[in-house]
Chain A
């Protein structure tokens, strides 16, 4: 005896690969390092407000080595034959259409048919990548301070602090978006639904991820 009920097939939709293993690995390695850096930064920065758990020296060493390792996931994921998709996505961050620029200017209120990444996501990637470079250089200046005059050390401290505040805010925003917009799964199993692509990235042709072709709309600059 069988009963009529919806078959599982009617609920499953086509899944599209958004991030491959290399990209997900790089992302989570990056996320782990950022988590360690932020957690160790708290007692280093707000020392006066928190009962300290570990020796400052230990916290400092963990912060230092995590910081030095920070660019590695990105670099490793972008080089070599395994980095094809990653390289393809990096070139995407550099392509901006007129519509995208307008979308950014109007803070997301103008019409936009996004490609794989919307302007906010692109900006997030660009900001985080640039900040990694800035944090690495200023952090190194604080660690190996005796090569620099005091005024530059003051400047490096200032920049390191300001960027760490900005980065933390951006990361919190990034996590919030991932949790509320249903894109977290694409960083876990790598896929998004067909339906998601239609709604959030209608201009994206997933097949282009493995080809060296420019996006369909011509680049702005």
Chain B
């Protein structure tokens, strides 16, 4: 009886691993996001910060630098970004470690638009992103950066991006795992080779495609 109970609990754990994603989806829909958002039953963000702090940048003082191998290095304010043509869609935020939050509303400027404005010089291959936290960095190839669902996002979940989610402005790379969507974006440098970012130096794949492949599953994702 004792052994049976012991093995039953382990079997329950194993079952949970295999069907957990479905159970979580179901419970997430029935429990909702309010208080239920604190419980493991449902989809909720786990806030990661490399440094242990959130760099506090006011919306007024926020600046985004686009520099490197470009014709016109520029520094943008938040209102500059907000004045540009906006792109909005709902997409899943999927963390590489397993949790996800479906149907997150995103709004921002397509990264490709900023690159067009800056004028990428010949010889440029990749981008390096820097964060106001002073620790995180990320990379994308120029091809990846031109995907239409790569955003410099200033709205998330239907409101300005909060500090804990990387506000006022963060990157969102829809087709890659969450670690590619760098928070507290401070600078975009156009460079001549891929410089692996913080998480890549800690063992994560440089190309963080959601399906683990070498390319996007859906090269022309529908935008809404």
Which residues of A approach B to under 8 Å, CB–CB?
44-48, 52-57, 93-96, 101, 122-123, 126-127, 129-131, 133-134, 137-138, 141-142, 145-146, 149-159, 161-165, 219-221
Partner of B2 from A94, A131, A162 at Cβ < 8 Å: A94
Q: Is the interface of A mostly helix, strand, loop or mixed?
A: helix
Q: What CA separation (Å) do A121 and B205 show in the bound complex?
A: 46
> Which residues from chain A contact B224 at a C-beta distance below 8 Å?
none
Report yes or no: A142 in contact with B97, Cβ–Cβ below 8 A: yes
B45 close to chain A: CB less than 8 A: yes
Q: What CA separation (Å) do A122 and B6 show in the bound complex?
A: 11
| Residues 45-92 of B at the A interface (beta carbon under 8 Å) | 45-53
Q: What CA separation (Å) do A7 and B34 show in the bound complex?
A: 63
| A96 nearest CB neighbor, chain B only | B1
Q: Select the stretch in B14-22, B113-121, B167-175, B213-221 that faces chain A.
A: B14-22
Number of A-B contacts (CB under 8 A): 122
| A122 nearest CB neighbor, chain B only | B2
Known pairs A137-B13, A159-B16; A154 contacts B21 (CB<8 A): yes
Q: What CA separation (Å) do A44 and B20 show in the bound complex?
A: 20
Q: What CA separation (Å) do A129 and B5 show in the bound complex?
A: 11
Report yes or no: B48 in contact with A56, Cβ–Cβ below 8 A: yes
Report yes or no: B97 in contact with A165, Cβ–Cβ below 8 A: no
| A45 nearest CB neighbor, chain B only | B46
> Which residues from chain A contact B98 at a C-beta distance below 8 Å?
142, 145, 150, 153-157
Report yes or no: B18 in contact with A155, Cβ–Cβ below 8 A: yes
Partner of B1 from A47, A53, A164, A221 at Cβ < 8 Å: A221
Minimum distance in angstroms from B63 CB to a CB of chain A: 25
Interface flags, B1-42, vs A, CB<8A=1, else 0: 111111101101100111111011000000000000011110
Taking residues whose C-beta sits less than 8 angstroms from the other chain, chain B's interface range is 35 or more
Minimum distance in angstroms from A45 CB to a CB of chain B: 7
Q: What CA separation (Å) do A123 and B100 show in the bound complex?
A: 34
Q: What CA separation (Å) do A219 and B2 show in the bound complex?
A: 11
> Which residues from chain A contact B5 at a C-beta distance below 8 Å?
123, 126-127, 130
26 contacts between A and B (CB under 8 A): A44-B46, A47-B46, A54-B52, A55-B52, A56-B48, A56-B52, A94-B1, A126-B6, A126-B9, A127-B9, A130-B5, A130-B9, A142-B97, A150-B210, A152-B17, A152-B18, A153-B98, A156-B17, A156-B20, A158-B17, A158-B20, A158-B21, A158-B23, A159-B13, A159-B16, A162-B40
Report yes or no: B9 in contact with A134, Cβ–Cβ below 8 A: yes
> Which residues from chain A contact B51 at a C-beta distance below 8 Å?
55-56
Known pairs A94-B2, A153-B97; A158 contacts B46 (CB<8 A): no
Partner of B9 from A131, A138, A151 at Cβ < 8 Å: A131
Minimum distance in angstroms from A151 CB to a CB of chain B: 5
B200 close to chain A: CB less than 8 A: no
Q: What CA separation (Å) do A95 and B2 show in the bound complex?
A: 7
> Which residues from chain A contact B132 at a C-beta distance below 8 Å?
none
Partner of B16 from A46, A131, A155, A164 at Cβ < 8 Å: A155
Report yes or no: A133 in contact with B21, Cβ–Cβ below 8 A: no
Report yes or no: A150 in contact with B94, Cβ–Cβ below 8 A: yes
Q: What CA separation (Å) do A142 and B1 show in the bound complex?
A: 31
Partner of A134 from B13, B19, B39 at Cβ < 8 Å: B13
Known pairs A150-B94, A158-B40; A141 contacts B17 (CB<8 A): yes
Q: 13 more A-B contacts (CB under 8 A) besides A130-B10, A145-B96, A156-B98? A: A47-B49, A48-B47, A55-B51, A55-B52, A94-B2, A95-B2, A126-B6, A130-B13, A155-B19, A157-B98, A159-B20, A162-B41, A220-B1
> Which residues from chain B contact A56 at a C-beta distance below 8 Å?
48-52
| A135 nearest CB neighbor, chain B only | B13
> Which residues from chain A contact B210 at a C-beta distance below 8 Å?
150
Minimum distance in angstroms from B101 CB to a CB of chain A: 12
Q: What CA separation (Å) do A94 and B46 show in the bound complex?
A: 39
Q: What CA separation (Å) do A152 and B210 show in the bound complex?
A: 14
Minimum distance in angstroms from A217 CB to a CB of chain B: 13
Report yes or no: A93 in contact with B20, Cβ–Cβ below 8 A: no
